[in-house]
Chain A
Amino acid sequence: MTDNPDELERLRKIQGGDVRTASRLIRNLEDNLPEAKTAIRQIFPHTGRAHVVGFTGAPGAGKSTLVDAMISVFRKQSKTVGVLAVDPTSPFTGGAILGDRVRMQAHAEDPGVFVRSLATRGALGGLSRAVGDAVHVMDAMGKEIIMVETVGAGQQEVDIINHSHTVIVVLIPGMGDEIQAIKAGMMEIADIFVINKADRDGAGQLENELISMLNMVSEFPGGWRPPIMTIGNLFDAAAFREDVEKLADAVGDHYRCLVETGLLADRLRRKTVMEIHDALHDAILSPILTELTQSGEMDRITKRILQKESDPYTIADEIAGKYARDGKRNRMIN
C-alpha cells in the first residue's frame, strides 16, 4: 500500500466513483505512462466485484445499439453501469473516430452510467491493450455491470474472452452458410448468441444453423448450452424492449451458472494468466526492444539478416543468451 497523499486521494476518488479522475487514469493507461501502472497496483485489491459482459460481432451488427438498450434495462434494475467501447485506430495515421457512443446518447447525462471510448492503437485481438486495466478502474469505481464492446470483429478477434465473464456474440442474417457456423474462433466463444435485426430475411435459417452447430458440441462446460436470443427491429419499440429484457435475463442466468458451477474461477484464472503474460511482456521484452532500437543495434541486426549473414532465430538466441547472462550476473551482484 501507498502512503503518498496524492495517490491515496486518487484511490479514494476512484472508489468514490469520480469520473474525471477515473477517465484521466484510463487515458494514462492508454498512453502507457508509468504512473498509471502504479495506480493499478493500488486499485487492484479493490477489484473483482463487477460482472463483465463482452459484446462482439461484425461491424454494423448492432453491438452499440444493443449495449445502449442493455444500459436502459440495467439502470431500471438500479444497477450502475460502465461501458468500454473500442473502435479501430488507423494503421496509417494513428488517428481514430470513436463513434460508438453516438448510439448511447440517451445515457449521457445519467451519473450512474460511465461510457468510455478506446481506440485499438495497434492491438489486433479486437480490443485495446488498456481494456483490461480500464475494466479494473471501472470495477474499483463500484460499477456493477461493465459492458465491453469490441471493434467490428471477424473470425479471429477473440481477446474478449480474456476480459469478460459473459461473452455475447452478435450475428445478423445473411453473413454466410453453415460452414461459417462450424469454424473455429468467434463461433466458439459465445456464452450467448444474439441474432440481431431478426426481422430480416434469413434469420430463421441462421437460427437453424446455430442450433445444428450447437447440437454437434458433445459437452458444454458447466452444462451451459449457449442460448440463441433473437432481437427484432429497433423501431418496433415495445417488442424490441421485450427482446432486450430477455437478453438481460440470459446474462443474469449465465452469471449465476458461472458462480454455481465454479466456472467463474476458471475465467478469473484465464484473465490472470493473460495479465501475467502482458505484464511480463512489458517488464522483459519491451525494455529489450527499446534498448535495441535506441542503441542502433536493431538496424545492425536487420542488415545482417537481410544480407543473409544470419537469420532471425540465431539473432533471437544471441539476444536472449546475452540478456539471460546479464540477468544472472546482476542477481549475483545483488
Chain B
Amino acid sequence: MRKLRILIAKVGLDGHDRGAKSVAVGLRDAGMEVIYTGIRQTAEAVVSIAVQEDVDAIGISSLAGAHMTMFPKVVRLLQEKGAKDIQVFGGGIIPKNDITELNKMGVGKIFLPGTKISDVVAYLKEAFPN
C-alpha cells in the first residue's frame, strides 16, 4: 500500500511552530509519514526537501504575513524543478481575500484557526486516494 508522505514547513521569518507541530502529530496519528523542516526555511530549501523526500504534498504554516510571497514562490519553484505534481496547501493567519488569490495561483486548501485536525486528514485522504 502507498503510504502518504507529507512535508510540514515553516517558511521565512516566522518562528511560531506550535500549529505546524500539532498538524504534524495529527497527520502522524492518521498513519502518514510526516517530514518536518523546522522553522525559518527558504522557499528554495522547502522545495529541495520536498523533492529529496518525494512527498505527496507540502503543508506550509504561516503566521507572520508573508504568505502572498512565500506560497506562490514555492509553487513556482516546484514547477521549475519538474515537480508540480507535489501539491501545496497551508494554514495559519491568512485573510479570506488572500485565500482566493492563493487558490488562483495554484495553492490548495488553506486551513484557518479553529480547524479540526480531522478536516486536514480528510482533505489529504481525498486528494490522494490510495
A114 to B37, CA, bound (A): 15
24 examples of A-B residue contacts, CB within 8 angstroms: A19-B51, A19-B52, A20-B81, A20-B82, A23-B51, A24-B54, A31-B1, A90-B28, A95-B29, A95-B32, A95-B33, A96-B28, A96-B33, A97-B24, A98-B35, A101-B49, A105-B45, A108-B48, A108-B49, A109-B42, A109-B44, A115-B52, A117-B35, A117-B53
Q: Is A94 an interface residue (CB 8 A)?
A: yes
Q: A108-B49, A114-B52 are in contact. Are A94 and B31 (CB under 8 A)?
A: yes
| B54 proximity list for chain A (CB < 8 A) | 20, 23-24, 26-27
Chain B residues near A (Cβ < 8 Å): 1-3, 5, 24-25, 27-38, 41-42, 44-45, 48-49, 51-54, 81-83
| A20 B83 Cβ-Cβ under 8 A | yes
Minimum Cβ distance to chain A for residue B130 (Å) = 10
**Most chain A CB inside 10 Å of its own CB: which residue of B24, B33, B38, B42:** B33
| B3 A98 Cβ-Cβ under 8 A | no
| B35 A95 Cβ-Cβ under 8 A | no
**Most chain A CB inside 10 Å of its own CB: which residue of B45, B53, B81:** B53
B5 to A, closest residue via Cβ: A27
**Most chain B CB inside 10 Å of its own CB: which residue of A95, A109, A116:** A95
Minimum Cβ distance to chain A for residue B59 (Å) = 13
A95 to B24, CA, bound (A): 10
A25 to B, closest residue via Cβ: B54
Kindly supply a per-residue 1/0 record for chain A positions 107-122, scoring 1 wherever the CB is within 8 Å of any chain B CB and 0 otherwise: 0110000111101010
Chain A residues near B (Cβ < 8 Å): 19-20, 23-24, 26-27, 30-31, 89-90, 93-99, 101-102, 105, 108-109, 114-117, 119, 121
Q: A30-B3, A102-B38, A108-B41 are in contact. Are A95 and B51 (CB under 8 A)?
A: no
Q: A26-B54, A31-B3, A101-B37 are in contact. Are A95 and B30 (CB under 8 A)?
A: yes
| B45 proximity list for chain A (CB < 8 A) | 105, 108-109
| B28 proximity list for chain A (CB < 8 A) | 90, 93, 95-97
| B5 proximity list for chain A (CB < 8 A) | 27
A20 to B27, CA, bound (A): 24
Q: A30-B3, A31-B1, A93-B30 are in contact. Are A99 and B36 (CB under 8 A)?
A: yes
Query: A-B pairs with the 4 shortest C-beta distances?
Result: A108-B45, A95-B28, A102-B38, A23-B54
